[in-house]
Structure 1
Amino acid sequence: MTVEQTRSRRAMDRIGLLLARHGGISNARMRQALEATGLTMRQGITLMHLAETGPIGQQALMEALKVDPSALVAILNDLERDNLVERRRDPADRRRHIVAITEAGTSAVTRVDTTMSAVERELLAHLDPDEIATLHTLLARINTSVNDEACAES
């Protein structure tokens, strides 16, 4: 093996580069799969969260999803336009909006879940269940934040 091949090999063994490469590929595959459902990644995540939590205040939803208020408004506007969520005033506090998933939204979550599961099965096909569990645990511990300036997602 030449010195250049050794250097190249070491570069490809760097964990940060491996995460970036696999993360980029995973992200692209998830986005492509979600496009087939007619949703963006953020819309899919929002619907999945609403399906799990039930009706929730818009402020609490923003905090749970860790998105900027204007970004959440745009996401909810699109989802509401497509009859996937509804916003209504909280009868106890008219300044507060409650966001709820609709029946159509629940159906969309089923499609999103099926789509994401298929992508995950393909990506993780060479790992056994214990390895997948370990990978999940380790990835959850990586020091990243959605508030990182380098993370300007559209």
Structure 2
Amino acid sequence: MSTHSDGPDVDEAVRRLLLLMPRMVGRAKRIQVPEALQSMALAPRHLSLLSYLLLDGPLTVNDLAARLEVAPTTVSLLVSELSRKDILERREDQADRRRRIIGITDTMRPAIAQWLSPGATAWRTAVEPLTPEQRRLFVDTFLRYEAALGRGDEERAPD
């Protein structure tokens, strides 16, 4: 193992991460989906939206779109889909009756919390001891990794 005084060199870090990532994904996949949600056919695209609503409370479509970094029309489609399944509800914004506030229904909130809280708790445990600068570096590193994986998808896409 080749290391520098302050940590592993790039190749050793890559080896460690290649070992770690499949274990992390495997553990995340083993988080049991509550019975109330098993028949809902929820996909990864729903997880971030539900996580924001669980952690931050009800939000507008535009707020969700900004946080998810997608178009408001994409969020509207997801909200419509999840509303039909009685997972989300739309209600009028009392401050501006033209806007709709999106929230998790009271009946589904416990199941959503049971499902998503272990992941949020694990991330909190991982990042809480870090300084704000270290947290930014950590998140930026994951974003660069995701972008690099995306470039690989583009390179493999058929013409």
Bin of the TM-score, shorter chain as denominator length:
0.5 to 0.7
CA contact (8 A) 2:32 2:115 kept: yes
- TM-score where L is the length of structure 1: 0.58
Residue identity over aligned pairs, in percent, reads: 19
* Range with bigger deviation, 77-86 or 30-39: 30-39
Aligned partner of 1:112 in structure 2 is 115
Aligned partner letter, 2:17 = L
> Which of 43, 67, 84 lines up with 2:70 in the alignment?
67
Aligned partner of 1:19 in structure 2 is 17
Aligned partner letter, 1:108 = A
Instruction: State the distance in 2 between where 1:46 and 1:131 align.
Output: 21
The 5-angstrom pairing of residues 26-105 of structure 1 reads 26-33=24-31, 35=33, 37-38=37-38, 39-88=42-91, 90=93, 92=96, 94=98, 96-105=99-108
Instruction: State the distance in 1 between where 2:127 and 2:68 align.
Output: 28
Instruction: State the distance in 2 between where 1:134 and 1:26 align.
Output: 20
Residue 102 of structure 1 and its aligned partner are, at CA, apart by 0.9
Gaps of 5+ in 1: 1-9, 122-128
- TM-score where L is the length of structure 2: 0.57
Instruction: State the distance in 2 between where 1:82 and 1:35 align.
Output: 16
Residue 148 in structure 1 maps to residue 144 in structure 2: no
* Range with bigger deviation, 66-75 or 77-86: 66-75
Instruction: State the distance in 1 between where 2:106 and 2:25 align.
Output: 28
CA contact (8 A) 2:61 2:101 kept: yes
Q: Which has the higher contact order (CA 8 A, sep 6+)?
A: 1
Instruction: State the distance in 2 between where 1:17 and 1:34 align.
Output: 29
Query: Cα gap change, 1:98/1:114 in structure 2, threshold over 3 Å: closer, same or farther?
Result: closer
CA contact (8 A) 1:43 1:75 kept: yes
